[in-house]
Structure 1
């Protein structure tokens, strides 16, 4: 019989690519991960991994087993959800991930709704970039998270995860000292989020679509600070609506035909869990009406 815990390690190896990354994500030592994967190979009776020096790749049998592992783990999430429905009242921790601008504008009202509906529930909020949410959900570090995607950086389906339909959509703005288009900022220095974030990828692609590669001066992952730097003449930036509600004097926001959409994400099979359902319901209640109906 194949061990579910070892199947989870194989699944993570398929997603993360290296044993070291799996060990870090799941708080194991690399040697422990290697040992457990070797035991899984013996249980399976066929090679699951191809080792070339320090690199490890999945064999066709290994990739096939990962597909089955995704189904097994989703069924276990469904079973956990059914058991949760049999309990009286929601209680215990609910680990929530969110990106920073939603943490300020959405999460406080959401937590207030949850506290009123389910006082026994203990929400625990962590700021995390959407690019890192998948690994955190699969590792069990988060139960549910707010994630976003941009027109220029659409979200790719990720095995093992499920997302809701967009909960709200917000426009993007060019933040500069004067009105203009992205193409007109070709010679300006740019302020953007650090590499590896969706915001960084979105800004780079928006500039490339306008015909140039941005000259990056500052890398800041806080929109309030970004706007302060724009006001100080340090460059220009692209800002979503949630990050641009109170621009400082001297900053001009030019609305762009680019949008950011926010979803709730959770492990596949967990959507019917009462705690996840409560989170999604509270989220819909907490979102300002203007974001649901569309920013004029």
Structure 2
């Protein structure tokens, strides 16, 4: 029963994370400081929660943990910043799907860089299937705008998001590999703490103080609260499932695949978005790639 509970928690929290970002981006703001404002409200909540847990559990901090957290915090900030701006100019269905697909890349990094192993034929097939699925899903986006400017802006935001989001989970795996410890509370606290500092710096650097009033900040409280809960629940699920001996070939396809399907359903029914027919094949191919990469 625990396994089922944490898998369901992982699916719902992964989907609600994407949806919370969508709600946060849907404030009809076109100023770049809006993204660090939302993330700046979320990151200290998560950092504080994990800091308390780290203190209560007596977790230690090494320079290796600090350096890995710097990498993870920087990548989270860039990924969230780009993802929120991509949602402003692109459809939720495709954008959320690509976010989930990017989370598969740490598997490739871990096999090649950390374990020093060659990828198996099945994993190589999964990697190429993932690449094809990503390209098809990105190309399946439809827009009601006559100009292609919005599509190019969306693509320019999505490329760095895909790359940096794929490095976030790898940074945590790298920390575990280098320290030899499965404890990640102090790492997570530092990671989001560093990201918070970047949010504050970028908010002021982008002139957010000049365009942000008290009423505007209040509008972000609910999305920020939902996002903090979603991210916290998602982390809890991904921390507990390996301890319950749930194979990665089941964990990642079920969680990421199901949340992608939920995002597609909500995008089509609630946000009235449309994708080309091969977008559905791309989502199915991405889920299949999740299975192959983790075998």
TM-score by length of 2: 0.26
Choose between structure 1 and 2: higher strand proportion: 1
Asked which structure has the greater RCO (Cα within 8 Å, sep 6+), the reply is 2
Q: Rg larger in 1 or in 2?
A: 1
TM-score by length of 1: 0.26
